[in-house]
Structure 1
Amino acid sequence: MESCNTESSLDLPLESLSLQPFLQSLHKEQWQEVRLGEIVDVKHGYAFAGKNITTEHTPNVLVTPGNFHIGGGFKSQKFKYFNGEIPKSFIFSTGDIIVTMTDLSKDGDTLGYSAKIPKDSEHIYLHNQRIGLLLFLRSDICKDFIYWLLRTKNYQAFIVNSATGTSVKHTSPKLIGEYRFPLPPLTTQQKIAEILSSFDDKIDLLHRQNKTLESLALTLFRHYFIDNPKRNEWEEKPLSEVCQIKNGFAFKSEEYKKIGIPVVRTTNFKNGFVENHNLVYLDENDKNKYSKYLLQVNDFLLVMVGASLGKYAIVTSEILPALQNQNMWNFRVLGSVSQYYLNYAMQEIIANNINTASGSAREFFQKSYFYKIPILIPPKNIMMKFHTQMDNFYHKTTNNRKQIQNLQAMRDMLLKAIFA
């Protein structure tokens, strides 16, 4: 079975890819329509015992529908683990292509989409129920081509429209197998898979670079301020003298536009930053009307109500200009304190105070409590040295995020054009 090796594909000139000549080279008029069920079987997962499913870390990751990104791809977040006996026939291998057959969202956001089991020397990945494993039936098929086919909106719309259930949507191996599509020759499948996989390889590289830089930044913060032997000599001030806590605004959904100035909502918080996926917008002419809610670079946003209580995000330049929605606070420095220092100090404060929330129907932080929290003020020379180093780190990570956004947009445009 052809798996389509793309190890060297990072060298492809993705940014200079010319769309029309590439599409013409595919000779789509020669493709033959087939049914997906002629190419793959979809194997059901195993019903692992609920009593052994845990959020406490073990080497055994239980793959769930929550491990699929909207649009497809594997999501290595919020893992569930298993600490019981494991049937060997339900252990995934690296690179296995899987699909999700259940979705809890109203619109079936991830239903049917594909993902690949990641390379991971520290964990094994378990084939849970409602996850389908693709088993290939033909030798003239590039597995990665099918992986990308199952990340197209046309395919996913077919799955959602044929799904059963209302509040929880389900699909099945039979329904997945009914999807029909034009299949190119093997060499063309390989060509398509290689170019699309090249985008993801480069995106993954940039994500890993940012994780390394973010880890180094945290190490520097701890070196300068947490592990500093002279920290007991530093001045202490209440948070009210260091920053202001700014409320957002309850923008009305009927005012949302398809384009304009973005409104940052708590759903846009991801991995400590604001992502530009699933943004809503206001008319550009409303910017002055809501100017007091305009965000700035490095603003520290904190969810202070609801199930995501304590989740935070730092504002970076690629999202601006943007407006602050309700259900979050914005911690913005006063005076000469470094915003970088405040942002990392806030992460320490949140970790130490997350259990102090009060409330009834909706949990919330008390702003008056936060303002009283003491914070150490390091000497100005140390703070400015840290600030300069963080400027360099954040310049690199911001540029990487911009590249990631551009590559994702190019990949999605190409994916749509290939399978149109």
Structure 2
Amino acid sequence: MNQWKEYKLGEIVKFGNGKERPKSGGSIPIFGGNGILGYSDRSNYDGEVIVIGRVGAYCGSVYYENRPVWVSDNALVAKPKNEFNTKFLYYFLKNLKLNEYAEGSSHPLVTQSLLGSIEVCITDNEPEQRAIASILSSLDDKIDLLHRQNATLEALAETLFRQWFVEEAEESWEKGRLGDFVELNPKRTLKGGSVAPYLEMSNVSNQVYHPDNWYDREFSSGTKFINGDTLLARITPCLENGKSAYVDFLENEQVGWGSTEYIVMRPKPFLHTFFSYVLTRNEDFRSYAIASMVGSSGRQRVDINSLADYEISLPTHETIEKFNSFCEDSLQKMKHNHIEIRTLTQLRDTLLPKLMSGEVRVGESSN
């Protein structure tokens, strides 16, 4: 077997600083410490590149791109020296947890010199590096594909809602208020001190229905929910940022809980439960909810009585049934995908440290 060798990171990786973010406009990704910030019409790095968050909350975060990018000044760039494989180094740097090497507590920072001084043990056998990168990449590619499938299904549901419930509205349609068709903060029961799934606001997405994570926690005081409920963030800036979630991760008859800053929404039985979630993604509804916020600056919340007065028009029974059917089919596919995503993510996260330490060895690949 090949022996892994000790290096200082600066001996195998060349680091560079990003530059001030250019004006937006174009198709080239602008990378900062927390990922893609926007798009530009020019790049400062071409080809394969590793981007590392330099400062603040995303200090030490690691991203990989194999196309031209612009790297902003709150990030660093890393490229391999000699014959090291770029994708392998990307996974190696992710496994190092670079944020743990950051200087400063209130405003953490990593620098080129700090990163370059980190001592590591790594294989310099390029075929072995390719084999390791291939295994991890195949898992990430599958995870990404499943995420994109779900994003497409969710976007289709939002498009159908906008078309069937808004754009094709007719005078003859049944009209009412949100409170007539959707129950707000329905009663849910959870005994104090019992352990139940807890969903933090930070784990609620502003783009997709499924939360990032949840965990068991002893219930004290908070908003309670069951499968089929929609959670709408009611406080600034979470509402403006688009945070909402559809609950489908609980066991049958299980009650979960979370922040008191959620509004729980549950449609009447003739509407599919996903209706409420899709409504929260509608631009007109979100604008109305934001305009309904009250309270002091920085701590404003949606007034639930005002939210209940939001005007809704319902299409024909046949159209509602078509929408319900689409939602049911799509949710089954999306839930299956999410289960597979979690399984593949756990497998990748288990393999990553074992492969990067040499505990698990793989055959050399010529691909």
Task: Name the TM-score, length of structure 1 as normaliser.
Answer: 0.74
Q: Which amino acid aligns with 1:294?
A: F
Report SS of the residue matched to 1:42: strand
The 1:231/1:92 distance shift into structure 2, 3 A limit, reads: farther
Unaligned runs of 5+ in 1: 1-26, 68-75, 105-109
State yes or no: 1:415 paired with 2:352: yes
The 1:413/1:82 distance shift into structure 2, 3 A limit, reads: same
State yes or no: 1:315 paired with 2:246: yes
Match of 1:130 in 2: 74
Match of 2:232 in 1: 302
Match of 1:191 in 2: 131
Once the 2 structures are TM-superposed, how far is the Cα of residue 355 of structure 1 from its aligned partner? 3.0
Once the 2 structures are TM-superposed, how far is the Cα of residue 294 of structure 1 from its aligned partner? 3.2
State yes or no: 1:208 paired with 2:144: no
Once the 2 structures are TM-superposed, how far is the Cα of residue 290 of structure 1 from its aligned partner? 8.0
2:46 to 93, 101, 114: 93
In the alignment, the residues of structure 2 paired with residue 219 and residue 39 of structure 1 have an alpha-carbon distance, to the nearest angstrom, of 49
1:282 to 182, 207, 217: 217
Report SS of the residue matched to 2:235: coil
In the alignment, the residues of structure 1 paired with residue 310 and residue 66 of structure 2 have an alpha-carbon distance, to the nearest angstrom, of 42
Match of 2:363 in 1: none
2:59 to 75, 98, 111: 111
In the alignment, the residues of structure 2 paired with residue 292 and residue 115 of structure 1 have an alpha-carbon distance, to the nearest angstrom, of 35
Once the 2 structures are TM-superposed, how far is the Cα of residue 303 of structure 1 from its aligned partner? 0.9
Match of 2:291 in 1: 355
Does the CA contact (< 8 Å) of 2:50 and 2:65 recur in 1?
yes
In the alignment, the residues of structure 2 paired with residue 53 and residue 291 of structure 1 have an alpha-carbon distance, to the nearest angstrom, of 43
Report SS of the residue matched to 1:150: helix
In the alignment, the residues of structure 2 paired with residue 273 and residue 103 of structure 1 have an alpha-carbon distance, to the nearest angstrom, of 28
In the alignment, the residues of structure 1 paired with residue 174 and residue 323 of structure 2 have an alpha-carbon distance, to the nearest angstrom, of 18
Once the 2 structures are TM-superposed, how far is the Cα of residue 384 of structure 1 from its aligned partner? 1.7
1:377 to 302, 314, 334: 314
The 1:300/1:101 distance shift into structure 2, 3 A limit, reads: same
Report SS of the residue matched to 2:34: helix
In the alignment, the residues of structure 1 paired with residue 127 and residue 159 of structure 2 have an alpha-carbon distance, to the nearest angstrom, of 48
Match of 1:293 in 2: 224
Once the 2 structures are TM-superposed, how far is the Cα of residue 385 of structure 1 from its aligned partner? 2.1
Q: Which amino acid aligns with 2:151?
A: K
Does the CA contact (< 8 Å) of 2:186 and 2:265 recur in 1?
no
Q: What are the Cα deviations for residues 378-399 of structure 1, in whole angstroms up to 9, with x where unaligned?
A: 2323212210121111111111
Match of 2:116 in 1: 177
Does the CA contact (< 8 Å) of 1:309 and 1:363 recur in 2?
no
Once the 2 structures are TM-superposed, how far is the Cα of residue 60 of structure 1 from its aligned partner? 5.6
Does the CA contact (< 8 Å) of 1:300 and 1:312 recur in 2?
no
State yes or no: 1:64 paired with 2:25: no
Match of 2:271 in 1: 337
Q: Which amino acid aligns with 2:328?
A: D
Q: Which amino acid aligns with 1:114?
A: V
Does the CA contact (< 8 Å) of 2:30 and 2:71 recur in 1?
yes
Once the 2 structures are TM-superposed, how far is the Cα of residue 327 of structure 1 from its aligned partner? 0.6
Q: What are the Cα deviations for residues 153-207 of structure 1, in whole angstroms up to 9, with x where unaligned?
A: xx22xx4444222321111111111222222222221111110111111111111
Does the CA contact (< 8 Å) of 1:261 and 1:282 recur in 2?
yes
Which stretch has the larger CA shift, 348-357 or 202-211? 348-357
Which stretch has the larger CA shift, 364-373 or 376-385? 376-385
1:132-147 superposed matches below 5 A: 132-139=76-83, 141-147=84-90
Does the CA contact (< 8 Å) of 2:244 and 2:280 recur in 1?
no
Task: Name the TM-score, length of structure 2 as normaliser.
Answer: 0.83
In the alignment, the residues of structure 2 paired with residue 207 and residue 405 of structure 1 have an alpha-carbon distance, to the nearest angstrom, of 11
The 1:142/1:243 distance shift into structure 2, 3 A limit, reads: same
1:144-155 superposed matches below 5 A: 144-152=87-95, 155=96
Match of 1:398 in 2: 335
The 1:53/1:164 distance shift into structure 2, 3 A limit, reads: farther
Q: What percent identity do the matched residue pairs reach?
A: 21
